[in-house]
Amino acid sequence: MIQTVHPNLREIREKVEAQQRLTVEDGLTLYAAETPLQEVGELANLVRERWNGNAGYYNINSHLNPTNVCVYRCIFCAFRSDLRDPKGYLMSDEQILERGQEAVHNGCTEMHIVGGLHHQKQYDWYLHLIGLLHDAFPRLHLKAWTAVEINWFEFLTRRSASSLLEEMIDAGLGSMPGGGAEIFHPEIRDRICEHKADATRWLQVHRSAHELGLKTNCTMLYGHLETAYHRVDHLLRLRELQDETGGFQTFIPLAFHPENTGLADLKKPSGLDDLRTIAVSRLMLDNVPHIKAYWIMLGIGTAQTALAYGADDLDGTVRQELIYHDAGATTPQSLSVERIQGLIRESGRQPVERDTLYREVLRSSQDPSQWQTGDDVSVPSLS
Ligand code: V47
């Protein structure tokens, strides 16, 4: 219980307790330096516990970035490569299948697949890749392609996002990640990723996905050129679409890593900014069930603390992450399940392994690579 409430937070606290919606002005107040972070965190924690109780979610997943070659030149990205750059790569079917095999062998329930928009690859290659993995590993959930990629496929094929997504779902697509959102406001978007899908297109692709019953995530890249106003504006655009469709599962605030990017002279956001952004997101996005503290980019300590500031999910064991590590992330390439569970317990939460759709995963005690979810009737029950 907060004993004394900071004057900035009196009205906001009343609204949060009464489950009323916060406004742009409230968002700016929550972001103001003079509004005590500790109290903002406590309010966010109230909402977090309302949504998710004491659960601290994690999943066992692997990342696949099939190519880093990209037609776009987003200035915040250290991962992309030009076509003829020696750094550029393109994975073969054999390499992709090997990565799928390794994921299944390690007990992964999910593969997170995003990459560059390769100059010489047509939409069929991206579709083929989903079918290839799904046919070989039907139980591995494929969370693939950002809205920016789908929008690129629309450009390549002159077809609608809905028809492309329908085809992807038939091939084995299970859900979509939240990347490519960056900052929606054109004052910033036009400076950091001028040519790629704008806010309207990004949101329209997710709307189409939700209409087809596909769950998706959403993100915000913060800590570069934007102000608090641009962040709050971004959150409200997501909240508006969520009111309409209810298709977002998780929001992931992504802290900018400047190393090796076109914005290398900027400093990384501070741990305090990270925690405040998690908390403000939890409070503003009153209709999104989960807030993810992505340990890869926040660092392990901040991600763990974030579980008391509004976040309920640490993401996964994450094997083979490249986008943040190319931009100077010093976190390990993956965490063991025991380590993730320990981090969650240490912060006073109950570790819950989830699948991509937030169903609890149960593992065999004899062979942890064998798993099932609560409503999974296709496999015998595990002891
Ligand atoms: O869209 C790129 C960001 C995103 C940098 O949906 C950078 O579960 C910081 O979306 N510094 C891709 N961020 C990653 C992403 C994601 C990650 C984890 C989980 C989920 C999910 C989605 O990474 C890009 C961009 O916003 N990014 N470069 C950088 N230098």
Q: Which atom of ligand 1 is nearest to the CA of 219?
A: 10
349-365 burial: b if 16+ Cβ within 10 Å, else e: bebbbbbbebeebbbee
Pocket test for ligand 1, best of 176, 219, 250, 256 (most atoms within 8 A of CB): 219
Å from CA of 323 to ligand 1 middle: 7
225-242 pLDDT per residue, tens: 999 999 999 999 999 999
CATH architecture of 7-376: Alpha-Beta Barrel (3.20)
Q: Is the pLDDT score of 167 beyond 80?
A: yes
276 neighbors 40 (Cβ within 8 angstroms): yes
Tokens at residue 256, please?
Answer: 């900018």
Å from CA of 82 to ligand 1 middle: 19
282 neighbors 220 (Cβ within 8 angstroms): no
Site residues for ligand 1, CB cut-off 6 Å: 76-78, 177-180, 182, 217, 219, 221, 252, 254, 256-257, 261, 294, 315, 323, 327
Average pLDDT score over the chain: 93
> Percentage helix, strand, coil, to 5, in the chain?
40, 15, 40
Average the pLDDT over 283-291 and give the result. Answer: 98
Å from CA of 79 to ligand 1 middle: 11
* Between 177 and 337, the higher pLDDT residue: 177
Q: Is the pLDDT score of 380 beyond 50?
A: no
What is the predicted pLDDT for the residue at 337? 86
Beta-carbon contacts of 313 under 8 Å, excluding residues fewer than 6 positions away, are: 56, 57, 58, 250, 290, 291, 292, 293, 354
Backbone angles phi, psi at 221, to 5 degrees: -90, 115
Residue nearest to atom 28 of ligand 1 (CA): 77
What is the predicted pLDDT for the residue at 333? 67
- CA dihedral sign, ordered 118, 121, 124, 129: negative
Q: What is the DSSP string of 123-139?
A: HHHHHHHHHHHHHH-TT
Pocket test for ligand 1, best of 114, 183, 221 (most atoms within 8 A of CB): 221
Average the pLDDT over 360-379 and give the result. Answer: 77
118-156 pLDDT per residue, tens: 999 999 999 999 999 999 999 999 999 999 999 999 999
> What's the first-to-final CA gap in the chain, in angstroms?
41
Pocket test for ligand 1, best of 81, 254, 354 (most atoms within 8 A of CB): 254
Q: Which atom of ligand 1 is nearest to the CA of 182?
A: 26
Residue nearest to atom 21 of ligand 1 (CA): 177
Q: Which atom of ligand 1 is nearest to the CA of 218?
A: 6
